């Protein structure tokens, strides 16, 4: 039996937090209490084991992904521009994203929605960004977007839905998926018809970095995920080749129209 | 060249400079990633958390209270994000162990990786509120005082939970044959 006072001293000894008097006291105690000695030995071994665990290096892309993610916020955090002007400036910067890895945020969708629905009560772009971050399209705002394509997914590996909505110059691609394993989502498109603008993660975020280039967007989801992907429309009859796969096996493939 | 302190870097970022925030990322991305990795035992989730934390830091930089330490603020954010995501994952599917699925250090020897995996999976065997104590004390090597500040609990409670956490972890490791 080890009393509470000495139990605490043993733990503190492991942490190097005892004074010299306390260290001496606990050493003396262990000499006459075998259980205390065994506990100290076990805890010391545990501590040594944990100390041997090296910190892991994150992916070399992490910093780049972070910098890409905060890019759209930069102009709004630096200066107070007029609301509409600032928003338009941000949209332009979003649409100027070139090729590479990125992990975008809900900013693009938020800003686009701001322009589409023109809320007069907004105060600053920064406020609007935080309101939209991590959210999907508000139901009440849906009226200004036209639904052009929708289908439900009911496969053994994954369930959910895909919804394509059409705005004046934008296409919004909503994906909601439920799966117990990783599901790879591929959106292929013609670069002369659509340009990737960004994405918004829902309450159950998609996992990892998204990968995109001029003709495709790829991301991986698991568990419950909801993602809104934003495109700038370059042609009225643009199509998106939507594909779900798992471990390289195609589960579903659909060509979806984005025109009226 | 003199290393700039965090407060200076934050002020420069708020003034619109880009490089200072990059320095903050360089300074803390590994720490944040590792806290999240040990909390969730999943490399992709850990990267998501690190990314989310830095986005939130950037978004909320104007609200940072210079009376406090930056690393405490960012630690707290990482822990909260990890706990939230862990809870979401647990509700939906139960946590899986795929810690070894991706390793960015190919030069690591097998024993080191094996130990890391064993500790990682054993940590998942104890509740998050105890796991975080082991992570902060043993893997991040923070003092009782720092842990107390980050977790917003008294030092007495930190000690009490840490001591319990050690016993719980020891039991898990013994059950798994990791420790005699």
Say if residue A197 is in the same domain as residue A113: yes
Mention every residue, 6+ apart, whose C-beta is less than 8 A from residue B19. Answer: B12
Largest CA distance in chain A: 86
The residue among A48, A56, A102, A129 with the most chain B CBs within 10 A of its CB, best to mutate, is A56
pLDDT at A163 over 60: yes
* Last-in-domain residue among A51, A72, A90: A51
What confidence score (pLDDT) does residue A195 get? 85
Residue of B nearest to A74 (CA): B16
With an 8 Å Cβ cutoff, are B104 and A59 in contact?
yes
User: Of B126 and B95, which is predicted with more confidence?
Assistant: B126
B46-60 pLDDT per residue, tens = 999 999 999 999 988
Note which residues in 36-65 of chain B have CB less than 8 A from chain A. Answer: 37, 43-48, 50-52, 54-55, 58-59, 61-62
* Full set of structural domains in chain B with CATH: 1-96 (1.10.1740.10), 106-180 (1.10.10.10)
The residue among B14, B55, B89, B157 with the most chain A CBs within 10 A of its CB, best to mutate, is B55
The DSSP call for residue B126 is: S
The token pair at A182 is: 């990783």
A218-248 pLDDT per residue, tens = 888 877 777 888 888 888 888 899 999 998 8
Please tell me whether residue A62 adopts helix, strand or coil conformation. Answer: helix
Q: How far apart are CA A171 and CA B9, in angstroms?
A: 39
Q: How far apart are CA A196 and CA B11, in angstroms?
A: 33
The DSSP call for residue B164 is: H
Cα B66 to the chain's mean position, in Å?
22
Say if residue A181 is in the same domain as residue A241: yes
Say if residue A36 is in the same domain as residue A70: no
Say if residue A43 is in the same domain as residue A66: no
Pick from B26, B29, B51: which is nearest to A103 by CB? B51
Beta strands in chain A (DSSP E): 100-102, 146-154, 159-166, 170-189, 194-201, 207-213, 216-233, 239-246, 249-257
A45 and chain B in contact, CB less than 8 A = yes
For chain A, the domain total comes to 2
With an 8 Å Cβ cutoff, are A63 and B29 in contact?
yes
Give the domain extent around A246. 62-257
With an 8 Å Cβ cutoff, are B104 and A223 in contact?
no
Say if residue A38 is in the same domain as residue A118: no
* Last-in-domain residue among A15, A32, A51: A51
Q: Predicted ipTM?
A: 0.81
Asked if A128 contacts A222 with a C-beta cutoff of 8 angstroms, the reply is no
Which residues in chain A are contacts of B43 at CB distance < 8 A?
Answer: 56, 59
Asked if A234 contacts A192 with a C-beta cutoff of 8 angstroms, the reply is yes
Say if residue A40 is in the same domain as residue A75: no
Domain assignment present for residue A56? The answer is: no
Q: φ, ψ for residue A208 (rounded to 5)?
A: 75, -175
Domain assignment present for residue A230? The answer is: yes
The token pair at A2 is: 């080890």
Give the CATH number for residue A75: 2.60.40.290
B89 and chain A in contact, CB less than 8 A = yes
Say if residue A45 is in the same domain as residue A81: no
The token pair at A65 is: 């992904």
Tokens 């040990």: give the residue: B38
Say how many C-beta atoms besides its own lie within 10 A of residue A127's C-beta: 12
Domain assignment present for residue A151? The answer is: yes
Tokens 């107070």: give the residue: A80
User: Of A116 and B116, which is predicted with more confidence?
Assistant: B116
Q: Can you list the alpha helix ranges (DSSP code H) found in B15-126? A: 19-40, 43-59, 70-92, 110-123
Say if residue A134 is in the same domain as residue A172: yes
Domain assignment present for residue A149? The answer is: yes
* Burial (CB count within 10 angstroms: exposed 0-12, middle 13-18, buried 19+), residue B148: middle
Note which residues in 91-150 of chain B have CB less than 8 A from chain A. Answer: 92-93, 103-105, 108, 112, 115-116, 119, 134, 137-139, 144
Domain assignment present for residue A57? The answer is: no
Say if residue A10 is in the same domain as residue A108: no
A81-97 pLDDT per residue, tens = 333 333 333 433 343 33
The residue among A47, A61, A62 with the most chain B CBs within 10 A of its CB, best to mutate, is A62
B17 and chain A in contact, CB less than 8 A = no
Per-residue confidence at A116, pLDDT binned at 50, 70, 90?
very low
With an 8 Å Cβ cutoff, are A17 and B144 in contact?
yes
Say if residue A87 is in the same domain as residue A192: yes
B17-56 pLDDT per residue, tens = 889 999 999 999 999 999 999 999 989 889 999 999 999 9
B81 and chain A in contact, CB less than 8 A = no
Counting Cα atoms < 13 Å in the Cβ hemisphere of A12 gives 23
Say if residue A252 is in the same domain as residue A219: yes
**Model-level pTM?**
0.57
Say if residue A29 is in the same domain as residue A71: no
Largest CA distance in chain B: 56
């Amino acid at each position: 039996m080890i009393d509470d006072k000495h139990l605490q001293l043993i733990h503190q000894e492991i942490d190097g937090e005892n004074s010299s008097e306390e260290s001496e006291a606990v050493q003396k105690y262990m000499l006459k209490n075998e259980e205390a000695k065994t506990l100290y030995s076990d805890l010391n071994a545990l501590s040594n084991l944990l100390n041997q665990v090296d910190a892991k290096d994150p992916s070399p892309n992490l910093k780049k992904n972070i910098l890409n993610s905060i890019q759209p916020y930069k102009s709004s955090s630096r200066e107070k521009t007029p609301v509409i002007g600032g928003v338009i400036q941000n949209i332009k910067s979003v649409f100027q994203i070139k090729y590479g890895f990125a992990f975008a945020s809900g900013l693009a969708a938020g800003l686009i929605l701001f322009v589409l629905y023109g809320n007069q009560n907004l105060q600053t772009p920064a406020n609007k960004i935080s309101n939209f971050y991590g959210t999907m399209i508000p139901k009440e705002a849906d009226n200004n977007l036209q639904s052009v394509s929708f289908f439900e997914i009911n496969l053994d590996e994954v369930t959910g839905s895909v919804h394509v909505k059409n705005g004046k110059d934008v296409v919004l691609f909503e994906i909601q998926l439920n799966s117990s394993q990783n599901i790879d989502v591929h959106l292929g498109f013609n670069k002369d018809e659509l340009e990737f603008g960004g994405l918004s993660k829902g309450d159950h975020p998609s996992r990892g970095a998204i990968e995109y280039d001029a003709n495709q967007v790829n991301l991986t989801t698991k568990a419950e995920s909801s993602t809104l992907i934003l495109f700038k429309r370059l042609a009225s009859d643009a199509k998106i080749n939507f594909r779900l796969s798992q471990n390289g096996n195609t589960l579903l493939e659909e060509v979806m129209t984005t025109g009226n | 060249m003199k290393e700039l302190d965090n407060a200076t870097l934050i002020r420069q970022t708020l003034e619109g400079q880009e490089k200072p925030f990059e320095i903050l990322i360089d300074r803390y991305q590994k720490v944040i990633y590792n806290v999240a990795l040990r909390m969730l035992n999943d490399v992709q989730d850990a990267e998501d958390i690190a990314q989310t934390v830095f986005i939130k830091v950037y978004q909320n930089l104007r609200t940072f209270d210079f009376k406090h330490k930056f690393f405490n603020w960012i630690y707290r954010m990482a822990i909260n994000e990890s706990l939230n995501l862990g809870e979401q994952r647990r509700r939906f599917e139960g946590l899986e162990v795929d810690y070894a699925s991706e390793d960015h250090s190919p030069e690591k020897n097998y024993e080191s990786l094996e130990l890391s995996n064993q500790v990682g999976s054993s940590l998942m065997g104890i509740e998050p509120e105890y796991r975080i104590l082991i992570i902060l004390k043993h893997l991040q090597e923070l003092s009782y005082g720092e842990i107390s500040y980050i977790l917003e609990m008294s030092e007495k409670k930190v000690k009490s939970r840490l001591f319990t956490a050690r016993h719980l972890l020891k039991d898990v490791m013994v059950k798994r044959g990791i420790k005699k």
